[in-house]
Structure 1
């Protein structure tokens, strides 16, 4: 819900739509599909497993409340991930976009969480999905962060190309001084 609220606020600040997935091509189209599938797996997988015992009986990871400490750690991580992702989204302001399109970049944001990572929103979303996988271990929730990571990596490559074309040396200097992921050059 925070993600959609943030999108509405960013669209209002930018004075134009921020949802660019409809303009996605090639690898960006696959990345957009992967993002959607990852969150659908994380949300709907446990619901389906709960509703249809045959599914969770076949899942070797489904432990149905047998690891409360792991579940607590997962809930904590999911909450931290959601907060990091939302904080990163909010600090982008009018520069926030969902997807990649030529000519649809905003000003470079390099403060706040963006001092530590060029992609803190993706980092937070990954932690949210990882926390979900720990809180509700199942095949769908374990696949979700892996699919998300693949999608984010693909989209980041496209974003970097577009930002490099639009912002030139300013983006190159930022990319040289801040890792793509937190702590990972």
Structure 2
């Protein structure tokens, strides 16, 4: 990600994704350590516990995606990687379960430790993830052709299947 020969827009999105993922992780750690010193927007403990469970669900979805993907894991737009398209397991219900898992994890942490900085970094990072997905969706037909296009027509980007 953020390396090699690729369109400038893709390169920029990948670099932003790297940077903001690191910044968000640091923000989350600071938010957790200094919870009592930072102004929490969501102070209701029930909402904070729901956030915790949403983040756990995100971790489970991400790990499931990794296990299902096995050797076909692809990070970003990379023409040198030789992988196969995975459409089984969790990938029957989401074309991007790893990103979905990250999104849920980040949203859950933002709910549990809801200071304004954490929420803003979460929103921006999720936006960058979405832009990355859009770039990958332009690239994948060049690698997998009709097989990917058929998959794209039957499986939703984030969650669910499409009726035929």
Scaled by the length of structure 2, the TM-score of the pair is 0.82
Deviations 1:119-161 (A, max 9, x none): 0110110000000100000122212332222222222222222
* Counterpart in the other structure of 1:128: 105
- The answer on whether the counterparts of 2:140 and 2:148 sit within 8 Å (CA) in structure 1 is yes
Q: Which structure 1 segments of 5+ residues have no match?
A: 1-19, 57-61
SS at match of 2:74: coil
Alpha-carbon distance between aligned partners in 1 of 2:148 and 2:89, rounded to the nearest angstrom: 16
Scaled by the length of structure 1, the TM-score of the pair is 0.74
Asked if 1:96 is matched to 2:73, the reply is yes
Within 5 Å, which residues of 2 pair with 1:38-57?
38-46=20-28, 47=30, 50=34, 56=38
- The answer on whether the counterparts of 2:16 and 2:128 sit within 8 Å (CA) in structure 1 is yes
Displacement after TM superposition at 1:35 (Å): 2.8
Name the count of aligned residue pairs: 158
What's the C-alpha RMSD, in Å, of the aligned pairs?
A: 2.6
- The answer on whether the counterparts of 1:27 and 1:155 sit within 8 Å (CA) in structure 2 is no
SS at match of 2:157: coil
Alpha-carbon distance between aligned partners in 2 of 1:170 and 1:118, rounded to the nearest angstrom: 13
Alpha-carbon distance between aligned partners in 2 of 1:105 and 1:150, rounded to the nearest angstrom: 28
Q: 1:166 to 1:117 in 2, by over 3 A?
A: same
